[in-house]
Amino acid sequence: MKKVGVSILGLGTVGGGTYRILTEHAEFFRRTQEVDLVIESVLEQDGRKTEALGVPAEKVAQNIAEVVLDPDVNVVVECLGGVNEAREYVLDALNAGKTVVTSNKELFCKFSHELERAAKRHNAGLFFEASCVGGVPIIRTLLDGVQSNEISRIMGVINGTTNFILSEMTEKGSNYADALARAQQLGYAEADPAADVEGFDAAYKLSILSSLAFHTKVPYTKVFREGITNISREDIEDGDSLGYVLKLLAVGKRSSAGVEVRVHPAFVRKDHPLASVGGNYNAVFVTGDSVGDVMLYGQGAGALPTGSAIVSDIIFASTHGEMRYSTFKNGAAPEKDMKFLSDFRSAYYLRLTVDDEPGVLAKLSSILAKYNISIVELIQRTAKGEAGKATLVLVTHETHELAVKNAVAKLNATGLARVESVLRVAL
């Protein structure tokens, strides 16, 4: 039976979950996978964490050099978070010929080209299933499940924190601040939640997933990003009355025109499978030219779900001899001939405050028409707390992003309407 020595860097939520799975399922892995996974060391300075997990004192490494110089360590698992120290330690491990498994989406998104160069140079493995969508095996699916397809679209709910917040606002009528506080209380959101609520986390993941799906480098800097901090209960209630549920959606598309990648709040129809993805769960749609639509669903974060992805990578690395790397030129920048589309097409939801008088809707429609924007659904009601004002909520046919931005600027400039909210609608 093959023995594989493992070292875990960091025993936070994910590292702790990984440690538990490796120790509690060791016999199961020997029996079913014919591999003996042995934790040779952990690198963790917080003694409370090692004590809570029952890590033997002799297994606690004092520094990264102790880990990478240990001939019994075959796989180094990086669960540190952050970028600078994690990057340094991962490179140390790869340069020592150790296979690396990481859950660090920001690190991999920003520096995969650098890490992969080191891995190739030393014939080391580099695995990152846990970097995207927690325990959902989306990366393995893209690499080994749908590789017979040309992928035209990847779309999904890939951030559990924002999905929990929007679910609280939708199902319990909470405002944004209260829903965020609840997410922080339950440990779904950090004390500084910007990475999640401003869409950075989802953008990093979409960069990784789109690069794999489309076989071309898609830097996170090319991802259009908009967070959920400006979402109001009024928008969610209006969407509900129109038959929609609001999600922070990640969308990647590839066509003959180029690649389109975007993260933003979007309304989805209540009968769409993504509408039922609630709480901290995630789901991803992949569309291939042969298989059609494939949907993967599961917990997008947490100690054991993410630890499950890490251990699966360890097992895969331990049972497959040949190392595989990117199917595309993985550089710091995209290939020169790759075109990224910023003026994408979508349907739109607009909420406006207007004077409650005859002729306003006709003038509004006229301005929108100049930008080739037509209305498919409309709600009108008296504005809350503003005498003589009305609220208009409208949904457009599919149109261009730039057209909507220009039309909104024109409406605000003319004083005909005060545009309160603009959200995209997934069709």
Residues with catalytic roles: 205
Distance CA 25, CA 39 (A): 12
Q: Are strands 281-288 and 292-299 parallel, antiparallel or unpaired?
A: antiparallel
Q: What is the DSSP string of 72-118?
A: T--EEEE---SSHHHHHHHHHHHHTT-EEEE--HHHHHHHHHHHHHH
SS3 119: helix
Q: Residue 314: phi, psi to the nearest 5? A: -60, -45
Instruction: Return the closest-CA partner of residue 164 out of 151, 182, 137, 138.
Output: 182
Tell me the β-bridge partners of 245.
268
3-state secondary structure 325-350: CCCCCCCCCCCCCCCECCCCEEEEEE
Spell out the long-range contacts of 399-403 with Cβ–Cβ below 8 A and sequence spacing 24 or more.
Answer: 399/345, 399/346, 399/347, 399/348, 399/371, 399/372, 399/373, 399/374, 400/343, 400/344, 400/345, 400/372, 401/342, 401/343, 401/344, 401/345, 401/346, 402/342, 402/343, 403/371, 403/372, 403/373
Distance CA 158, CA 167 (A): 14
**R_g of the chain computed on alpha carbons:** 24
> Which letter does DSSP use for residue 397 in this model?
P
- 362: how many CB neighbours lie within 10 A of its CB? 8
Query: Do 155 and 284 touch, CB atoms closer than 8 A?
Result: yes
The one-letter amino acid code at 1 reads M
